[in-house]
Amino acid sequence: MMFEEIIEIQGRKVGPGQPCMIIAEAGVNHFGDLQKALDLVDLAVSAGADVYKMQAFHTDALVSDHLPEWRKRLKSKEIDYDFLRAVKDYCAKRQIIFMCTAHDEVALAWLRDLDVSALKIGSGERGNAEFLKMHAKFGRPVILSTGMYSEVDVIRAVEVFAKESMHQLAILHCVTSYPVPYSELNLQAITRLKEIFCGPVGYSDHSTNFDSAIAAVALGATIVEKHITLDFDVPNAQDWKVSAGPKDFQLYVSKIRDIEQSLGHSEITIQQCEGKAEEWALKVVVAKHALKEGQRLDFSHFIYQRAGSGIAPDRVDDIVGKVINTNIEKGTPIQWHQLK
């Protein structure tokens, strides 16, 4: 199953060696209020996120009568096509990528009409091969969350896209709990996903802190999705429990940027900032006592000390037996031009 290691979403490359794509997941935290949805776009932009994402659904299509409480909770968070289009247009104005999770076929058709640049599939579609296939046929990159998935479930989902010859797929490790206990974050799953899947791998963060996102990026996540909100302590809602807001989302983004810069590359090299340290921290060959012109050097004539620039200790075999061509004071670094 060949998938592209690096995918492209609206001109933004995503994958190894690329900056981490940070998705600000507004979800349903607009609570059906268009102005609040637009304010959430502003929050995402001001924090430096790459993508603003929301969710679209029809409660009657999504939730059975057997779950009346969930139907009641979601009904007030429904949006229509005009709402969705207005948010997408505002994202274009604010120059942030717009993305949406469609939870039913009508909402997916809306995204096709809006010509979105990529699709996001929520974890709740586990085992829903037909719906995954509809996304695969869409012809745009897809990001798939894998909350509540086993490894077998991941492989089966990936096979759906492979059979449809849709190779621009990214997978997010996710634990569907609001919030996730530390002991169940299972961030090492990111490493395993990278072993079994050759496309971009990321992390959908349902924790209540910054730590897991930083660790995820260190483990190789090239996408991080985080819920954002303007409202907390909201009854009959759960996303706010794992959301960042105006007070901390910018810091969340900056922490990810800091850690991805710190990862560097796999080569072991002397860093540019270490240049000054080389001048004082490394030991060199130093005269153990005063030396006179004409003396032939042996091991009793020098010691190794921090003394600035000079001859490295691992070059002593090259200087033993050489004749000193000038007087050298005790404690002075011996230099190559002083030997013949």
Type of residue at 273: C
Using the structure block, give the residue that is written with the tokens 């990810």: 256
Tell me the pLDDT tens digit for each residue of 34-83: 999 999 999 999 999 999 999 999 999 999 999 999 999 999 899 999 99
Task: Supply the pLDDT for residue 237.
Answer: 84
Task: Supply the pLDDT for residue 1.
Answer: 57
Is 186:172 a contact under the CB 8 Å cutoff?
Answer: no
- The phi, psi pair for 43, rounded to 5°, reads -60, -45
- Residue 90 token pair: 């505002």
Taking CA atoms, 6 is separated from 17, 59, 118, in Å, by 9, 35, 14
Residues in the chain with pLDDT < 50?
Answer: none
Task: Supply the pLDDT for residue 235.
Answer: 87
Map out the domains of the chain with their CATH numbers: 12-263 (3.20.20.70), 272-338 (3.90.1210.10)
- Residue 216 token pair: 């995820």
**Could you give the 3-state DSSP secondary structure of residue 290?**
coil
**Could you give the 3-state DSSP secondary structure of residue 14?**
strand
Task: Supply the pLDDT for residue 59.
Answer: 95
- By the 10 Å C-beta count (0-12 exposed, 13-18 middle, 19+ buried), 195 is classed as exposed
Distance CA 226, CA 228 (A): 6
Residue of 286, 304, 292, 297 lying closest to 328 (CA atoms):
292
Gyration radius from the chain CA atoms: 29
Residues 6+ apart with CB under 8 A from 118: 9, 10, 97, 99, 140, 141, 142, 143
For residue 282, the 8-state DSSP code is S
